Chains A and B, each alone.
Chain A
């Protein structure tokens, strides 16, 4: 029998390393939509991190936090896209 709690913790740490690499991508982008693409990827990875952490520590509350974070970040991304279109006109 594997120790699945440790395996899930290690995979959550790997996803946190991914997020740190994308933050470097945001810092060296040239214009705003490229930064929004990287930010959207960070949001998806954070939902995955919350799911894996909730499965590792056997707490469903973390997964609920991931669901609410996903919905709010979706609204934020749509609003930034709308702002880019309106700013151009």
Chain B
């Protein structure tokens, strides 16, 4: 059982360390979000799993409290981490930061939506007749 606990702890810490490599090496905010958020959530699950197993196997007076409270803290991490990542990505996209190596921002709707006058101008310039057959 000790092997299970220590291996869960090592998996959690190594996956948390992967987020550091991603934050250091990736070129862009969106790829860094991909690296930072998912790895920290996954690593925290394994660290808390190791602590819960340790407190169940070696039971004493304070272990039930520690197990339940660490599960509640894990729930806080699981619920808040993706929401804050989504908020950061949306804010940076709306504030005009393009993804790395991208020329056209496909999510910039305001520059792509055309008014009725602009569509009419395009029809005239391309030579497409309208409903009455008039160019």
Q: Which residues of A are interface residues toward B (Cβ below 8 A)?
A: 1-2, 4, 7-8, 11, 14-15, 18, 21-22, 25, 31, 33-34, 36-38, 40-41, 44-45, 47-48, 50-52, 54-55, 58-60, 63-64, 66-67, 70-71, 74, 77-78, 80-82, 84-85, 87-88
Whether B48 contacts A51 by the Cβ 8 Å rule is yes
User: Does B103 belong to the interface (CB within 8 Å)?
Assistant: no
CB within 8 A of B36: which of A21, A38, A55?
Answer: A38
Q: Which residues of B are interface residues toward A (Cβ below 8 A)?
A: 2, 5-6, 9, 13, 16-17, 19-20, 23-24, 29, 32-33, 36-37, 40-41, 43-44, 47-48, 51, 54-55, 58, 62-63, 65-66, 69-70, 72-74, 76-77, 80-81, 83-85, 87-88, 90-92, 94-97
